[in-house]
Amino acid sequence: MLNVGKIEEGFVLDHIKAGRSMQIYHHLGLDKLDCTVAIIKNARSNVMGKKDILKVECDIDTLDLDVLAFIDHNITVNVIKEGEIVEKRALFLPHEIKDVIKCHNPRCISSIEQGLPHIFYLADEDKEVYRCKYCDEKYSESSSK
């Protein structure tokens, strides 16, 4: 059994879909921070079968967690202070996301102009549909792979 120690101050991202922890690690910019990060991949889960977990020892308010809800709004965010869970934060789909996904429309200005941010807005919350702010192209997960 793998044993990863508890953290004193920071947060734990639990119930991450298996295999998505590295994507979250990069989107949160954790590779640029000087903090302790534990990545647990393919942990056993009674509910999910397999899941990933991220333990991060830094102030949660230094990070923009909006990207988490876009990646998977079922992720549990546990805020840790003095070694104990003090808060569980709910995730909500962000109304706008910037430079997380790219527009695949070859005629879109964001595809032509280098350095222009890729901005998508939430067009349909019930169906979790995002559209490009510039050309209104619909984002689909299959086109991003």
Q: What pLDDT is attached to residue 80?
A: 92
Q: Calculate the alpha carbon distances from 93 to 85, 89, 90 in Å.
A: 23, 13, 10
pLDDT at 143 over 70: no
The structure's pTM equals 0.78
pLDDT of 95 above 50: yes
Q: Is 130 helix (H, G, I), strand (E, B) or coil?
A: strand
The span from the CA of 38 to the CA of 75, in Å, is 16
Task: Over range 78-87, report the average pLDDT.
Answer: 92
